[in-house]
Amino acid sequence: MALVHSNITVGTTPTLLLTIPNGIGYTAVNIANQDNNPIFVGDASITATGTNQGSRISATSNLQLWLHGGDSVYGISAAGYRDWK
């Protein structure tokens, strides 16, 4: 299987990052955030806050997901988000 690499810019609305083709078995994907702000990944209803908040990928970090054929992943930027600690 070939390694596929794409650069995708996400904004403050859900952006399709990838779809695993139907018929493909359980597959690992790695999503890297190269921005200075966190991003969130999930389904098409994803938000950066609230009840539909997706899985957070911190600035300059990555997340590995395992997906099935037919699964799609969306991302949304957390521009303006503050990580209060």
CB atoms within 10 A of CB 85: 3
Per-residue confidence (pLDDT) for residue 57, from 0 to 100: 94
1-60: per-residue pLDDT in tens? Answer: 567 788 888 989 999 999 999 998 899 999 999 888 899 999 999 998 888 999 999 988
Whole-prediction pTM: 0.86
Q: Are 57 and 63 in contact (CB under 8 A)?
A: yes
Q: What are 76's two structure tokens?
A: 């949304």
